[in-house]
Amino acid sequence: MAYFGRIISFSVLFLLVALACEARVLLQSSGFVQTRNTQFTLNGSPFFFNGFNSYWMMNVAADPSQRSKVSDVFSQAAAVRLSVCRTWAFNDGGTQALQISPGVYDERVFQGLDFVISEARKNGVRLILSLSNNYKDFGGRPQYVSWARNAGAPVNSDDDFYTNEVVKGYYKNHVKRVLTRINTITRVAYKDDPTIMAWELINEPRCQVDYSGKTLNGWIQEMASFVKSIDSNHLLTVGMEGFYGDSMPEKKAINPGYQVGTDFISNHLIREIDFSTIHAYPDIWLSGKDDSSQMAFMLRWTTSHLTDSETIIKKPMVFSEFGKSSKTRDIVQVQGIHS
């Protein structure tokens, strides 16, 4: 979700794993997280986890005087047994950019990401690292398209991010640069570091010029194959919100009244994608609805996606973002969903 000042991006990410029970396996220091059918595994055993979003970590850690803030978050997370953190591995153009221009990087900011990974490792926290953004925040699709336009490429809208060869080349170069980065602290290449649980292609991809999900599907297939050609160790996901598309028209009724050019089913059936994700922002998606209506939606939304991940996609699912307005006075009791 694009940044909204009044939205609390709850520090507890509801990382719901398909078919998960409440049992958990303590994070071990070695081994890559893998999947087996609808379960995550670590060193051959089921891996259950809870986690949180802290998108800002790399940029804060770019300033050595501020790094204690990152260390504190990881130590506090470990103390309450939050074992996965989702954060950005991108900042394209603009203030304190990681990628200043196509292929040009600020080493100081990259060392901030090195520190984030190192501190996560020290505290037994694994990372989901997102490689780009759908929105203009931290650059994302708009910045890539702007770079291509300035280079003379025939691009007209942000949706050209998914089809223009120049833009796709910029994105692939960034992916390769990040995955092959050798951490200046641990001396381990990112692609070889089990501290990283998974890569995420892009945060909340949307494609307004093709609501069927087919344009995005082609891009996911191409980029997922590219990522796996460089890094076969780590899990990979898309970064989707969970909107249904044309592959199962009857499922569109689950969407909050509109489509965004994604297809939860077909986009996650791609072989190189290892697990599915959903997000939920009921205050924004169901603006004007009361808490009871929003809760009813949340139960349908979550149950439908858990079921589809288990029975159709046959991969684990992570509930990786949830936001609730700070203006809500009453705390709505959320009833757990048990498989």
How far is the C-alpha of 240 from the C-alpha of 216, rounded, in Å?
Answer: 11
Q: Are 8 and 326 within 8 A, CB to CB?
A: yes
Select which of 119, 200, 204, 241 is catalytic.
Answer: 204
165's CB contacts (< 8 A; 6+ apart) are none
Question: Which residues are registered as beta bridge partners of 88?
Answer: 130
Catalytic status, residue 204: yes
Catalytic status, residue 119: no
Q: Are 112 and 153 within 8 A, CB to CB?
A: no
210's CB contacts (< 8 A; 6+ apart) are 159, 216, 261
How far is the C-alpha of 51 from the C-alpha of 48, rounded, in Å?
Answer: 10
Select which of 119, 200, 241, 321 is catalytic.
Answer: 321
Q: If residue 274 lies in a helix (H) or strand (E), which one and from where to where?
A: none
Please identify which residue in the block is written with the tokens 């994105």.
Answer: 171
- What type of residue sits at position 40? F
- Which residue numbers are catalytic? 204, 321
